[in-house]
Structure 1
Amino acid sequence: MAKINALSGQQRLRQLAKTQLGTAVHVTDPAVQSSTAEEQGHFNDKHQHLAARSGAAAGNAGLTLAQRAERRLQMQRERQQHNLESIMALALDYCPEQVSGMDVDPDWFQQFCQLVLEISNKSMQQLWAKILAGEIASPGKFSLKTLHTLQRMSYKEALALQQAANLSCRTRQDPSARIYFGYIRKPSLWRLLTGRSKAVMNLNQFGLSYPQILSLMDIGLLHNSEIESGELPAGQTLNWQYQQLSINGTVSSKDVVLQYYKYTASGAELLPLLTSQPNQQYLQALKHLLAEIISFTQ
């Protein structure tokens, strides 16, 4: 008999925090948080703010070296606890009412808590909160490898992943997301003479630069090299899903190979957490690029 689960996502999260952390989840009011350094542009103000956060502020000059070190460690522990509780509170907003009857793996949760201690950026905290809510809803959804990959990700790399998500589509044959950018046709004498054996486009004009692609490869979200599809036979039907848009076409040229970037398993796990928007300019440019080899129905 299936286990009956009467707990909502928020109730499960509160229960998890109480049993594993020994504390309740408190909703953090962002209006209360200080943003002095961000609001002031002077170097001295920023320097003093960072010095205070590190425990090395001028006001601690009367303390001994050991006392200053203890003060710094105490401030670090408080900041880490604040980060952890902020993410736990944010996760409440993403918890669904209906969740799995399975409990979150305690080892997974403990590693999650350790990895978020130094996450202070609010946008990154929201990403971690979505992961926790998703794991509560469906335990096993996010691997520990993905957590460690995300922990290495900077806010700049998170923005690159968002740009990549805006250009990603799927096929009915393979639901894994990919970013198409060109095609290759088997070389022949005529194609060598006309120079029409290959066509690629620069993704930088659509918001995704090559350095961003390399950074996503470096942290393990994209495969380390460009991927080529198998040869597409003439007459094959293609069904692509680009964001909420369905794109259908028929291969009109033989010996065609499409080129794309493909997400790793960790990248594929993180992609659904992002709110992506279709880039119409990219879509039109891709259709125009592939028009010689694919006949699109719309």
Structure 2
Amino acid sequence: MGIAATQPLTRNMTKIGSSITQRKVQHAGKQALSKAVVAAENEAVSNLSATAARQRFGQLLSRSGAAGTDGNLSLAERAARRKQMQHERQQANLERIMSLAEEYCSVQLPQQDIEPDWFNQYCELVLDISNASMQQLWAKILAGELAAPGRFALKTLLTLKQMSVREAVALQHAAALSCRLRSEQAARIYFGYSRKPSLWHWLTGRQLALLNLSQFQLSYPQILSLIDIGILHSSEIESGELQNGQRVHWQIQQQVLNGSVKQAGVVLQYYKYTPTGAELLPLIQCQPQQHYISALQKMLAPVVQFEAI
């Protein structure tokens, strides 16, 4: 091949190489531009987050009565302002709970008045209750005490004061699973049973059946928290042995389960409410968990014959 023939091929290769280089430069430029745009967006989001954080912190400063935007006030003036703001918040909480309690009160109240010391302690305890759900609970306590003076012990008030919103939710979940024997006032949370082996099945040992309460929104950590604040007793409890043919009547909210025991030696397992928990339980509004009721009947079916509802 001559020199004249190779010159066009060389020019073509030069053009191709130049085109590839241009595309690489363009691609690199696009990547750099994309990175710059992403960096700018991230910076904008970061600035927005920083602004939102400063605004939130400024709100906390204002609520605390600290310097904030009023840096011209002296330390003594800021302390006085903080006290005034605190007193106003507490008064607002107290008045809100009193207003709710009036709505819960029955039209007719007994002639007996509530204990003055109890009421004074109550007023002190509700001053810092600002959560709406907890305010309703405290209002129901006052309405209940007005309807039946002496119904709620001071110990119950102190327990409720220590209760967080999360623990109040746990109590509501527990209330939805609470059963009450018709012959007793104390509510219980049944979760299992055991039975002694019969003469013909003595090799099988003690038979046991359990429900996992976490399936019904009551987790074990929630149970522990209710034990810790004195709502539930600290240990699982077993009933006495049920007799063959013994009638049982459970009430779960408005639903009643009636049945008879199929064999002797059956022992029910449950969590029991403390006196404090028993006082608070009627204040909790909840719907019974039908899934739990069905599971409880299914678990007890080998030892209890339930009547059709």
Fold match, TM over 0.5?
yes
Change (3 A) 1:287 1:195: farther
Give the SS at the match of 1:60: coil
Tell me the residue number matched to 1:161.
171
CA deviation after TM superposition for structure 1 residue 193, in Å: 5.1
CA offsets 1:121-141 (integer angstroms, 9 cap, x no match)? 011001101111111111111
On the 8 A contact 1:191/1:197 being kept in 2, the answer is no
CA deviation after TM superposition for structure 1 residue 264, in Å: 0.8
Tell me the residue number matched to 2:267.
257
Task: Please say if 1:84 is aligned against 2:106.
Answer: no
CA offsets 1:245-295 (integer angstroms, 9 cap, x no match)? 110111112111100011111111111111121111000000111111111
* Higher RCO, Cα 8 Å, sep 6+: 1
Of 213, 217, 229, 1:203 maps to: 213
- The answer to which structure has the higher helix fraction is 2
Tell me the residue number matched to 1:22.
none
Tell me the residue number matched to 1:223.
233
Task: Please say if 1:66 is aligned against 2:76.
Answer: yes
Q: Which amino acid aligns with 1:272?
A: P
Return the index of the structure with the highest Cα Rg. Answer: 2
Q: Which amino acid aligns with 1:233?
A: Q
CA offsets 1:157-204 (integer angstroms, 9 cap, x no match)? 111100001001111221211110000112579767547611111000
Tell me the residue number matched to 2:61.
51
Q: Which amino acid aligns with 1:178?
A: R
5 Å-filtered alignment, 1:1-298, equals 42-186=52-196, 194=204, 197-298=207-308
Identical amino acids, percent of aligned pairs: 61
For 1:111 and 1:195, the matched residues in 2 are separated by 54
For 1:98 and 1:116, the matched residues in 2 are separated by 25
Residue ranges of structure 2 left out of the alignment (5+ in a row): 1-50
Alignment: residue pair count = 258
Give the SS at the match of 2:143: helix
Q: TM-score under structure 2 normalisation?
A: 0.80
On the 8 A contact 2:190/2:268 being kept in 1, the answer is yes
Q: TM-score under structure 1 normalisation?
A: 0.82
For 2:205 and 2:72, the matched residues in 1 are separated by 75
For 1:173 and 1:96, the matched residues in 2 are separated by 28
